[in-house]
Amino acid sequence: MVATAYIALVSTDVNPRVPEDTAWYSVDELPVTAFDHASIIRSGRDRLRAKFTYTNVAFALVPETFTIAELRIVYESCLGHAVSSTNQQRVLLRRTIIESTSSVVSPSSSGGRPATLYRFRDRALQVTDPFAVFRPPTPDADNGSARFSRRK
């Protein structure tokens, strides 16, 4: 038997209609599946995680413009570990993957500074750094956040 699987990336600002007998599940909380389908789904998740380390694939999961906090949530959801917003922003800007727009989001009722809106410079899949890796947090990490680094 040969099985073929596809990954569909859905932006956070889209709410696709699915049949009534269909539901969304976290990959880590799948219901019982037939045959090797759970393994295939986990392989898809792992492949997407890998793509986050060397491509701009996150563009497909966020709206046209987004805040760094919104982008961090997408990265953390896909990678499965905490990501430092400051490091993420610095690295993605330095690699010219994202760029600031001239717009900001008004602060919430709880206050704070207006958040700058960003956009991906290119909304087509590109290899942005073939040697980049996101390292998951180490057990002795002070702040529990993952760091961006490069292989040598």
> What is the structure's pLDDT at 24?
84
Give the model confidence (pLDDT) of 79-102 as tens digits: 999 999 899 999 999 989 999 998
> What is the structure's pLDDT at 76?
93
Q: What is the mean pLDDT of the chain?
A: 85
Neighbour-count burial of 121, counting CB atoms closer than 10 A to its CB (0-12 exposed, 13-18 middle, 19+ buried): middle
Domain that holds residue 109: 28-150
The reply to whether 52 falls in a domain is yes
The reply to whether 20 falls in a domain is no
The reply to whether 10 falls in a domain is no
The reply to whether 107 falls in a domain is yes
> What is the structure's pLDDT at 3?
82
What's the structural domain count of the chain? Answer: 1
- Nearest CA to 89 out of 118, 110, 73, 68 is that of 68
> What is the structure's pLDDT at 148?
44
> What is the structure's pLDDT at 108?
75
The reply to whether 122 falls in a domain is yes
Q: Is the pLDDT of residue 129 over 50?
A: yes
The reply to whether 9 falls in a domain is no
The reply to whether 7 falls in a domain is no
The reply to whether 51 falls in a domain is yes
Q: At 140, is the pLDDT very low, low, confident or very high (cuts 50, 70, 90)?
A: low
Task: Give the pTM.
Answer: 0.76
- How crowded is the C-beta side of 89, counted as CA atoms within 13 Å? 14
Q: Is the pLDDT of residue 116 over 90?
A: yes
Give the model confidence (pLDDT) of 22-70 as tens digits: 888 888 888 998 899 999 999 999 999 989 888 999 999 999 999 999 9
Residue 102's CATH number: 1.10.10.10
